[in-house]
């Protein structure tokens, strides 16, 4: 019985997450239990647990008296989130390059191989990331951080990456291929990590995050005016 329950909870969590990241559930959209139950066929208890997990990842918010909704896109939030990521993720990578062993390096190489050999875009749906590529991309970046010997840093950095996922998905319509070479960026990060070039690896990751942020801001997510600070 426990296994079936676990399977149900994981299934609805993954379904909700996929629908949010593919924009089938749009930023800011309310998520009433009645609608979700009809859509996914699960009980309120199972849905609530899945939504709580998504709140922890920054993909859903739970406002008092209003209930759950998909996290709205906000320029100010993106700028703040990017700043936090550039400080925490790069610090975590610095420790990873210094602390990580040969097994970790091998896992980074394997994760990059999967990413480099997975098509980025859906073949039949223009302007949408391939779910296989998105999964490989997440795995590569998370594996980079796993060499860090401080689990608290790794956990916070991973949570910040998860919170940024909606914004990264938003960057697709602005012409990912025309404005950047993500494959080259990932390759250069990998090479710096394997060479144990700490400063270069940190610089490349910082530039990688900053470029994504700039491109998303240029696409004007949300309704707020640009942050001039």
Residue 225 pLDDT exceeds 60: no
Question: pTM for the complete prediction?
Answer: 0.79
Q: What percent of the chain has pLDDT over 70?
A: 87
Which residue, among 105, 86, 106, has the nearest Cα to 157 in the 3D structure?
Answer: 86
pLDDT at position 175 is 42
User: Hey, what CATH topology would domain 2-70 get?
Assistant: Arc Repressor Mutant, subunit A (1.10.10)
pLDDT tens, residue by residue, 50-87: 999 999 888 899 988 889 999 888 889 999 999 999 99
pLDDT at position 204 is 98
Higher pLDDT, 170 or 114: 114
Residue 109 pLDDT exceeds 60: yes
The pLDDT of 136-147, averaged and rounded, is 96
pLDDT at position 108 is 98
Structure confidence at residue 138 as a pLDDT band (50, 70, 90): very high
Average pLDDT, the chain: 86
* CATH 1.20.120.530 domain span(s) along the chain: 75-218
* Per-residue DSSP letter, 10: H
Residue 94 pLDDT exceeds 70: yes
Structure confidence at residue 8 as a pLDDT band (50, 70, 90): confident
User: Hey, what CATH topology would domain 75-218 get?
Assistant: 1.20.120
* CATH 1.10.10.10 domain span(s) along the chain: 2-70
pLDDT at position 198 is 98
pLDDT at position 219 is 72
- Least confident interval from 69-78, 134-143, 178-187, 198-207: 178-187
The pLDDT of 105-126, averaged and rounded, is 90
Higher pLDDT, 24 or 174: 24
């Amino acid at each position: 019985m426990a296994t079936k329950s676990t399977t149900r909870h994981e299934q609805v969590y993954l379904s909700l997450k996929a629908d949010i990241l593919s924009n089938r559930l749009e930023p800011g959209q309310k998520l009433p239990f009645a609608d979700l139950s009809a859509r996914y066929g699960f009980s309120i208890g199972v849905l609530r647990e899945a939504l709580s997990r998504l709140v922890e990842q920054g993909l859903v918010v739970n406002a008092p008296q209003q209930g759950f909704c998909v996290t709205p896109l906000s320029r100010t939030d993106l700028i703040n989130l990017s700043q936090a990521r550039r400080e925490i993720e790069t610090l975590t990578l610095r420790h990873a390059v210094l602390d990580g062993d040969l097994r970790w390096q091998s896992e980074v190489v394997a994760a990059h191989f999967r990413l480099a050999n997975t098509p980025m875009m859906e073949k039949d749906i223009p302007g949408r990331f391939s779910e296989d590529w998105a999964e490989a991309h997440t795995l590569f970046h998370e594996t980079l951080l796993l060499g860090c010997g401080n689990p608290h840093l790794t956990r916070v950095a991973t949570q910040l990456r998860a919170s940024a996922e909606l914004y990264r998905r938003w960057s697709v319509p602005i012409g990912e291929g025309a404005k950047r070479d993500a494959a080259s960026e990932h390759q250069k990060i990998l090479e710096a990590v394997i060479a144990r070039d700490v400063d270069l690896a940190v610089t490349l990751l910082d530039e990688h995050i900053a470029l994504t942020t700039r491109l998303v801001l240029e696409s004007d997510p949300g309704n707020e005016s640009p942050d001039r600070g």
